[in-house]
Amino acid sequence: MINLIRNELSKIFHKKSIYIMLIITLVFIIACNVIYKYKDDSLKYSVSYQVEHYEEVIKNLDPNNKNDIDEYILAKTEIETGKLIQSYGEKYNWQMRVINYHVRDVIRQMNEYLYKEKDTAKYEETKTEYEMMIAKINSGDWKYFVQVELNRVQEKLKQAKEENIEEQIYNLELQEQTLKWRLEKNICYGDDYKNECLSLWESGKRQVKELKEENLSSHSYKLNYNRAMEQIEISKYDIENEKTSGLDSDARGLLLNIFDQFELFIIIMGIMIAGSIVSEEFNKGTVKLLLIKPYKRTTILTAKFITSIIVLLIVIIIVMLMQFLVGGIVQGFELFKTPAVVYNHNIGQIQEISIPNYLLMQTLGKLPMYILLMTLAFALSTLFTNSALAITIGVLGYIGGPIVNQLAMAYNLKWIKYFVTPNWDLRQYLYGGIPQFDGITLAFSIAIIICYMIIMLVPTYMMFKKRNIKNI
């Protein structure tokens, strides 16, 4: 058996196709790392249209006409606010956020005192406040505005507690916590990962509160609750520890999400090997030379099947090494010093795992899916001796899996749990996770996987044993 496997491995690694696919994979990995390193994530925030629109509107308005005055003040405020934002750039920045949330109201008050109430004293007083805010912005003192917001929120919170308005208390407490984190952890307003964590934590907390009003025994509740808790705890961990464990766009994130990012290449290479390892022997006529060796046909077929799995594992390791080396060279190897972070639902705590151990668990969870698809291609290759058919149907099986699952969820198809696609990704059970479909467990999924493997392999072995090779 070992000699047969060694011989099969030698034949596979003499094929040019596998090296071509590895080169394509490497190029894609390099491109991903370079793009993620140099891409500009800043949101474009253009107010040109807003300014131009209100400049046209204001031309037809008379500030001395009582019927036009309110609309005139609105247009004037929008124009001045827009031009002020433009002076700090066209990208989303903390200055834009502060101007929209703080300065805009002051500009509106100035225009009301100037054009509507014609109160020079109040106008000058408000103008002084405006100039102070602009001075704070120009000096980069964004914390001043955070403190202003925090004071307002705390004042509202005190009032809400006195009136015992639970919904308002809950939302204000969330706002209070995010503002305190901004000050404590030096998180400036923006659209970076730290701000994303604040947003995810707050939205997750609101979702959990809403979920508690649903049916606690329903599967959808448990699934959504687990996801929300994971979002909350990982975001909180990163905020409090000033880390980026949930970031998936750096070299470390790409490595930890290797199967989400580069799975297609792994699948194609695995299916190519499994879908041609038997059929090529028949197409080239070399199967006669193989079968005259002193081995049973079942032994020969088993050796080919085991070889396919070994090659799959080698490909996975190579792709991981490619990402590690390319990501380290392009973005820095120091990123890999940070361990993987997961939320363990069994103990209700964040858990740090070394990157090798995390990748091992992810690989073990994904292997059933890969092996099943390879087994499908392997069976078709043996039964029909047609590599193109075997590879095509194998790839279609991979593409169709998520579609089947989505349709099953959309139409609440209970029987889908007996199909292989909801069961073949065992990662859903890791760290106390809830499976995507109700009624399935880890033991059930393993049983389904084994059943489908038997269904595909039994007729494959039977056909290979009985096949007449005289006319080949």
Instruction: Give residues with Cβ within 8 angstroms of 329, minimum separation 6.
Output: none
Confidence check: pLDDT of 216 > 70: no
How is 328-394 classified by DSSP, letter by letter?
Answer: HHHH-GGGGGSPEEEEETTTTEEEEE-HHHHHHHHHHHHHHHHHHHHHHHHHHHHHH--HHHHHHHH
| Residue 92 lies inside a defined structural domain of this protein | yes
Between 223 and 236, where is the model more confident? Answer: 236
Query: Whole-model pTM?
Result: 0.86
| Residue 166 lies inside a defined structural domain of this protein | no
Query: Of the ranges 217-221, 333-337, 350-354, which one carries the lowest mean pLDDT score?
Result: 217-221
Confidence check: pLDDT of 43 > 80: no
Closest CA to 340 of 435, 243, 429: 243
Q: What's the DSSP call for residue 414?
A: G
Residues 13 and 27 in one domain: yes
| Residue 471 lies inside a defined structural domain of this protein | no
Residues 304 and 402 in one domain: yes
Residue with tokens 């509740």: 221
Confidence of residue 81 (pLDDT cuts 50, 70, 90): very high
From 96, 124, 139, the end of a domain falls on 139
**How many CB atoms are closer than 10 A to CB 306?**
15
From 115, 139, 163, the end of a domain falls on 139
Residues 81 and 119 in one domain: yes
Instruction: Give the per-residue pLDDT at 2.
Output: 82
Instruction: Give the per-residue pLDDT at 470.
Output: 56
Residues 21 and 119 in one domain: no
What is the pLDDT of the chain when averaged over all its residues? 90
Helix (H, G, I), strand (E, B) or coil at 44: strand
**Tell me, what amino acid is at 67?**
N
Instruction: Give the per-residue pLDDT at 290.
Output: 66
Instruction: Give the per-residue pLDDT at 472.
Output: 53
Instruction: Give the per-residue pLDDT at 267.
Output: 95
Residues 18 and 66 in one domain: no
Instruction: Give the per-residue pLDDT at 196.
Output: 94
Q: Count of alpha carbons within 13 Å of 26, Cβ hemisphere only?
A: 13
Give dist(CA 228, CA 211) in Å, integer: 9
Residues 270 and 405 in one domain: yes
Question: What is the separation of C-alpha 404 from the centre of its chain, rounded to a whole number of angstroms?
Answer: 21
| Residue 199 lies inside a defined structural domain of this protein | no
| Residue 312 lies inside a defined structural domain of this protein | yes
Residues 346 and 450 in one domain: yes
Find the mean pLDDT for residues 105-125.
94
For 420-471, how does the pLDDT look when each residue is reduced to its tens digit (9 = 90+)?
A: 999 999 999 999 998 988 889 999 999 999 999 999 999 999 988 887 765 5
Give dist(CA 467, CA 469) in Å, integer: 6
Instruction: Give the per-residue pLDDT at 284.
Output: 77
For 13-35, how does the pLDDT look when each residue is reduced to its tens digit (9 = 90+)?
A: 888 989 999 999 999 999 999 99
Find the mean pLDDT for residues 85-104.
90
Q: How many structural domains is the chain composed of? A: 2
Confidence check: pLDDT of 40 > 80: no
Find the mean pLDDT for residues 162-166.
89
Residues 131 and 263 in one domain: no
Q: N- to C-terminal Cα distance for the chain? A: 25
Query: Of the ranges 7-11, 32-36, 76-80, 342-346, which one carries the lowest mean pLDDT score?
Result: 7-11
Instruction: Give the per-residue pLDDT at 293.
Output: 66
CA distances from 301 to 1, 270, 293, 307, 453 (A): 10, 17, 13, 10, 15
Residues 348 and 427 in one domain: yes
For 315-328, how does the pLDDT look when each residue is reduced to its tens digit (9 = 90+)?
A: 999 999 999 999 99
Residues 127 and 32 in one domain: no
| Residue 148 lies inside a defined structural domain of this protein | no
Give dist(CA 368, CA 450) in Å, integer: 9
Instruction: Give the per-residue pLDDT at 4.
Output: 84
Find the mean pLDDT for residues 157-174.
93
Confidence check: pLDDT of 287 > 80: no
Instruction: Give the per-residue pLDDT at 215.
Output: 59
**How many CB atoms are closer than 10 A to CB 260?**
10
CA distances from 415 to 212, 373, 404, 406, 437 (A): 28, 21, 12, 14, 10
Angle, CA 36 vertex, CA 33 and CA 38 arms, to 5°: 105
Helix (H, G, I), strand (E, B) or coil at 213: coil
Domain span at 106: 42-139
Confidence of residue 295 (pLDDT cuts 50, 70, 90): confident
| Residue 159 lies inside a defined structural domain of this protein | no
Residues 326 and 454 in one domain: yes
Residues 83 and 125 in one domain: yes
| Residue 442 lies inside a defined structural domain of this protein | yes
From 139, 166, 198, the end of a domain falls on 139
